[in-house]
Structures are given as C-alpha cells and as structure tokens.
Amino acid sequence: MRSTAASAWSRRVIDFSFTDEQLMVQKLARDFAGREVAPTIQEQDIEAKFDPEILPKMAELGLLGLCIPGQYGGTGNDYISLGLACEELEYVDTSLRVILSVHVGLNSLSLLTWGTEEQKQRFLVPQAKGEKTATFGMTEPGAGSDVAGIQTRASQDSDDWLITGEKMWISLADIADLFIILAWTDSAKQKARDHSGMSCFIVERGMKGLTTGTISGKLGVRSGNTGSITLDEVRVPKANLLGEEGEGFKVAMSALDQGRYTVAAGSTGLIRACLDNSVEYAQTRTAFGKPIGEQQLVKEMIAGMAADYEACRLLWLKAGWLKNQGRRNTRETSLAKMYACEAAERAASNAVQVHGAYGFSNEYAVERFFRNAKGAQIYEGSREIHKLIQADYALGLRIDKPLRRNLPPA
C-alpha cells in the first residue's frame, strides 16, 4: 500500500519544457548577443573597452525590463526567462550578463520589492524602459564579504540624509544614472555590528558630492565597466530611503538573492560556451594521427563540461521556479551560484587544456572565458561565503526567517 507521502508525490507533475514566451526571450537574447557583440567582443576585451551603445540596444529589446511588470515599464516576463537571457548573454561574454545582474537583479528588482509606489514610478519605470541605467553599491575598499565592516554613513539633516563613504568594485559605476547605496544610519549599532542599524538609499547621479571612477587593469570582464563611487556628504531627500530605516541589510540580502541567481544562470552559459568551443576544436585538431576528440583524456574533460552544464542548469532552474512562486530561495540560489561558478572555472580551465598552446593565447575565446570565470567566484558572495552558507543549512545552524517583503511572484 502506498504511503500518503508517496501518493502525494505521484500526483506531482515535473515539466522541464519551456513556454513559448520563455523560448522567445531565450532566442531574443541569443540573437542579440550573437549579432551585436560576438563579432567585436575579442577586440573590446583586448582594449578593455566598454561600449555604452549596448545599453540602448538592450533596452529596445526589453532586456533591461525583464521580470518587471508592465505597469512599471517592464516586459512582465518570469524569472526563468531572466535566467535564460543571462545564460545566452554570458555564452558570448560575461560583461553582457553583468549588465542584467546589476541593473535588473540588484537594483530594479529591489525597487520592485521594497520601493514605495512613488519610488517605483519615479525610478523603476525609467530603469525598466532603459531610459536610466542603475546599479547597487555595497562593497567597499575595506569590506566585501564582511557586510558589517562597511564604513559608509548616513546621518539625518532636517528632512534629508547626508551620506559619506566610498564604494568599490561596482559594476556600471561610471555609467549608471541611479544607485542603491547601503549605509549605516545608527552609530551605536555600527559599533555593535548589528545589521539592523543599516539602511538603503536611492542616490542619483548629479547630486552634489557624488563622483565615480573607472577601475582599470582587471584580470577578466575587461569589456565591462567596473568602478568606484565616492560620496562626500551627498544630500539625499528623505523620500529616497528604500524600505524603512534599519531595513538596509534585508534589502541588500534580498538583492543578492536576485543577483546571485543571474550569476548562476550566466555561469551556466559560460560552461556551455566552453563545451561548444572545445567540441569544435577537438573535432578538427588532429594529433597522433586522429582528431584529439577521440583521445580518452580529452573525452573525459568534455564529458565533465557536459555533466556540469546539465547539473548547473537544473540548479538555477529550481531557484527560478521558487522565485516564480514568490517563495524564499536563499539556500537554493546560493547553491546554484556556488556550484555553477566553480564548475565554470573548471570548464574554462579544461577548455584551455583542450586547446593546448592555442588556448593560452587570445586567438581563441577560451582564454577570455578562463579569465572571466574567476571573477564570479569572488563577486556576489565569494565561494567561501557560499560554502559556509550551505554548511550552515546542512548543519541546522541557519534557518530562513520570512522577510518582511515577499518576493514578487512572476
């Protein structure tokens, strides 16, 4: 006789197919990246050149408004569509996916979740339409994984806030029009490292005391813009407080759940790029009288890429499904990000190995994939942070509490 649990399980339907709408977004992102970026990306990477014209082109296709409801200027697509777009964009280059990670994942979805109606109309609508570019400022010169270590402070001055501090390693820092900035608003709680003393603010380019700069000499993602943000008593209206005072850490962590999801999906695309490039090379390069793809150890590396691609895609799809249901997904998103980023680095390393000496030069794309893959193990939570997160869940040392704001379901 079947148990109740078994009967309940037998009634569930697991469908791995994509909807026509999801496939349309996938094709749109694939065609765009292949047409607009692939032909010139190698040169852009060598010159470490960011092409600002890529933003209006992405906006025209609705890519900058993915997952944002139509009433706020977006396309109204679901989180699976966002993941598919990220996978296709990073298949060509990581810098493309980074745009979606910070503009949509970290910033726009935070506004959708935590913003007031006035903030959504004023900031989210132009962002979703691509009229304004946005990013998120949390990391600082002396604080990355240790969020409580940030030094940026905001103090009240009449009906305004005065923000002073510095942010570092911020994608689109020198391009963005709008910034969500995490700062301490309670000095006593800062000394106690109590996260409830943090708040988030919407800061606009052009505000007095705000300056940005570009970081050069990066190992990877060279065709993407990465920079710093300096805030010198920037006066921000009270209406630009995102969420309630003291909710900044919650805002930031929910933002990371979104950003990490896009990184996981993007890294999966990088694995597929490594696999496709390696298969093509292994079928045409000969050694010892036959294509190297017939050599056992080359097959082993290609098999590993194929297995990792399928595993990583299932992990981010599960996280995306939870997001579509409006359910908490911190554990699943962290696992997808951790595993996909490690697998991408492994795939890129093996892709270079398959290409031999040619993989060590920028004549082939796998050299760029190898450099780009490393960054994802550092940003959006380092691999060490994600391992601690997963261990704490497994050991019962970490249990998710409901957030004050639920994730908007797709």
Q: Please list the active-site residues.
A: 380
User: In the numeric block, which tokens belong to residue 176?
Assistant: 């963005």
Alpha helices in 325-381 (DSSP H): 330-355, 366-375
How far is residue 369 from each of residues 1, 42, 119, 229, measured CA to CA in Å?
53, 11, 38, 28
75 contact partners, CB below 8 Å, separation of at least 6: 62, 65, 66, 67, 68, 128
272 contact partners, CB below 8 Å, separation of at least 6: 87, 91, 309
User: In the numeric block, which tokens belong to residue 383?
Assistant: 């691999």
Q: What is the distance between the alpha carbons of residues 152 and 390, in angstroms, rounded to a whole number?
A: 29
CA angle 261, 263, 354 (to 5 degrees): 135
Q: Element (H or E) spanning 204, and its range?
A: strand 198-204
User: In the numeric block, which tokens belong to residue 375?
Assistant: 């960054």
Rg of the chain's alpha carbons, rounded to an integer?
Answer: 22
Handedness of CA 404, 406, 407, 408 (dihedral sign): negative
